[in-house]
């Protein structure tokens, strides 16, 4: 157990509203990641962080922003949610010499 | 982007059967990882293979890394219903910070 929690676990929102998802870790890992998982697409990287206030874009970053003001928290924000952002979102940390990743339980987001 | 292709996409077998799933790429990876994901949960790391030709065993699961480090396979012997899940392979991207995931093989083992 890598001590990763995500909140909320489920959320239903309407198109155009802002949404923030939170990832919290308890073990002081430097690298944190946000992925989305969709049928037919697998896991795709949205953004990642390599330290406090150090973030970079992943494969599908359009429409998403992130912030990391503390080592333990990595926030993912949808500024104006769209139906195409309906997905399951996973947070992960990297905890091994070969970038082995450990995932949180996921957040199921539905945008109506 | 270094693409990883997994096959088959879906596999439905009966308890006791053997199976192999594949993870292929045209790119060389320094290492490959295998994860299993159960419904409603996040992926869980099973193994990392690093050396070309390497074979690792985890109980009834056997993982092999291709000699050229472009492909990997997962063989399950005498599958059990508890093996049901989505099996994902992943390789470290060129940036060194992120993983590229295959789309997964969804395995269903029925009693």
* pLDDT tens track for A6-37: 999 999 999 999 999 999 999 899 999 999 99
Per-residue confidence band for B30, with pLDDT thresholds at 50, 70 and 90: confident
User: What's the rounded Cα separation, in Å, for the pair B88 and A33?
Assistant: 17
Interface contact A103-B42, CB threshold 8 A: yes
Q: Check whether A41 has a pLDDT greater than 90.
A: no
Closest CA–CA distance from residue A51 to any residue of chain B (Å): 12
* Residues of chain B found within 8 Å of residue A33, distances taken between Cβ atoms: 98
pLDDT for the residue numbered A67: 97
Residues in chain A: 112
Pull the structure tokens for residue B71. Answer: 């492909």
Q: Which residues contact A91 (CB under 8 A, 6 or more apart)?
A: A4, A6, A21, A23, A32, A33, A34, A35, A74, A76, A103, A104
List A residues 88-107 in contact with B (Cβ-Cβ < 8 A).
90, 92, 94, 96, 98-106
Interface contact B97-A45, CB threshold 8 A: no
A51 Rama sector, left if φ>0, alpha if ψ -120 to 50, beta otherwise: left
Q: Check whether A1 has a pLDDT greater than 60.
A: no
% of chain B with per-residue pLDDT over 70: 96
Closest CA–CA distance from residue B85 to any residue of chain A (Å): 14
The residue of chain A nearest to residue B38, with distances taken between CA atoms, is A105
Q: Check whether B26 has a pLDDT greater than 70.
A: yes
Pull the structure tokens for residue B79. Answer: 């599958």
Q: Check whether B45 has a pLDDT greater than 70.
A: yes
Burial class of A82 by CB neighbour count within 10 A (0 to 12, 13 to 18, 19+) = exposed
Per-residue confidence band for A42, with pLDDT thresholds at 50, 70 and 90: confident
Maximal CA-CA distance, chain A:
41
Write the residue in A31, A41, A96 that is nearest to B97 by C-beta: A31
Count Cβ neighbours within 10 Å for each residue of B30-42 and write b for 16 or more, e otherwise. Answer: ebbbbbbbeeeeb
For residue B71, what is the enclosing H or E element?
strand B71-76
Write the residue in A48, A103, A104 that is nearest to B97 by C-beta: A48
Closest CA–CA distance from residue A41 to any residue of chain B (Å): 6
User: What's the rounded Cα separation, in Å, for the pair A52 and A32?
Assistant: 10
Average the pLDDT over A97-110 and give the result.
Answer: 94
Average the pLDDT over B58-76 and give the result.
Answer: 96
Write the residue in A40, A43, A104 that is nearest to B88 by C-beta: A43
């Amino acid at each position: 157990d890598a001590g990763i929690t995500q909140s909320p676990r489920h959320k239903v929102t309407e198109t155009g509203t802002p949404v923030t998802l939170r990832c919290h870790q308890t073990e002081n890992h430097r690298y944190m990641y946000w992925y989305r998982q969709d049928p037919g697409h697998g896991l795709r990287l949205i953004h990642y962080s390599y330290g406090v206030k150090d973030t970079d874009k992943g494969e599908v970053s359009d429409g998403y922003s992130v912030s990391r003001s503390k080592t333990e928290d990595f926030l993912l924000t949808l500024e104006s949610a769209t139906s195409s952002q309906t997905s399951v979102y996973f947070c992960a940390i990297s905890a091994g010499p070969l970038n082995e990743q450990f995932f949180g339980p996921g957040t199921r987001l539905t945008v109506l | 982007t270094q693409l990883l292709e997994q096959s088959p996409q879906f596999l439905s077998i009966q308890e006791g059967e053997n199976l192999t799933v594949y993870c292929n790429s045209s790119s060389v990876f320094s290492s490959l990882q295998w994860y299993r994901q159960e419904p409603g949960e996040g992926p869980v790391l099973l193994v990392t293979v690093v050396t070309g030709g390497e074979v690792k065993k985890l109980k009834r699961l056997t993982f092999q890394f291709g000699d050229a480090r472009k492909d990997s396979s997962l063989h399950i012997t005498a599958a059990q219903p508890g093996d049901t899940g989505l099996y994902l392979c992943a390789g470290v991207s060129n940036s060194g910070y992120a993983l590229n995931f295959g789309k997964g093989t969804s395995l269903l083992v029925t009693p």
